[in-house]
Amino acid sequence: MNRRQWFAISIAVANLALVLLFPPYDYASLQRANIPTFDGFHFALTTRPNRVINSNFLTLEVIVVLINAAIAWLLLRSRVQPQARKGNRYQRGVLWFVALNLVLVLLFPPFENYQAITKAALPSFEGFYFLFGDNALRQIVTPILYIEVALLLINGCLLWLLFKDRGIEDLSNEDLLRLAGARRETRKK
């Protein structure tokens, strides 16, 4: 592990500490039939009446921090061979794209109005709003948020694999001929 990776891990640990010290809270109001609505981020060691930690959103925050730490770890690794850079430029671009999108998905989660809350598997949602805006009458739709993050990660992994180096360019002509001969022999069998 190099110095830049240590720095990235220390930033990830600091982010995890902040996320856990200031978790997201929901407000359960009797006027709204005890349906929790997003209330904001508050210090974890204080007690607040009628507020409960939104564990789904907190889990999502922790997962996003850990995924971004893993992406930073991969981007900041030492490059031993200069030839390995050739095809990995696209892979690094995919990692940056996924990290940026994860941050945007978390900053603009799907919200629904508290009056439209149902127990459906995929609830309806009002739209994507800035997380730190006035969302007193809205609740984060965690199933849709989980689907967004899962699809983003799956697509990022597929793109990363798509841009993976094949490795044939580094083989000599003799190695290529040996591989072609071995392939012909397996086809004959």
Q: Mind listing the pLDDT tens digit for each residue in 48-104?
A: 888 889 888 899 899 889 988 988 888 888 765 545 455 578 888 888 999 999 999
> Cα separation of 22 and 9, whole Å?
20
Antiparallel, parallel or unpaired: β 127-128 and 36-41: unpaired
List strands edge to edge, sheet with 24-28: 36-41, 24-28, 51-53
Q: Does residue 124 have a pLDDT over 80?
A: no
R_g of the chain computed on alpha carbons: 23
For 36, phi then psi, to 5°, come to -70, 135
User: In this predicted structure, what is the pLDDT of residue 90?
Assistant: 84
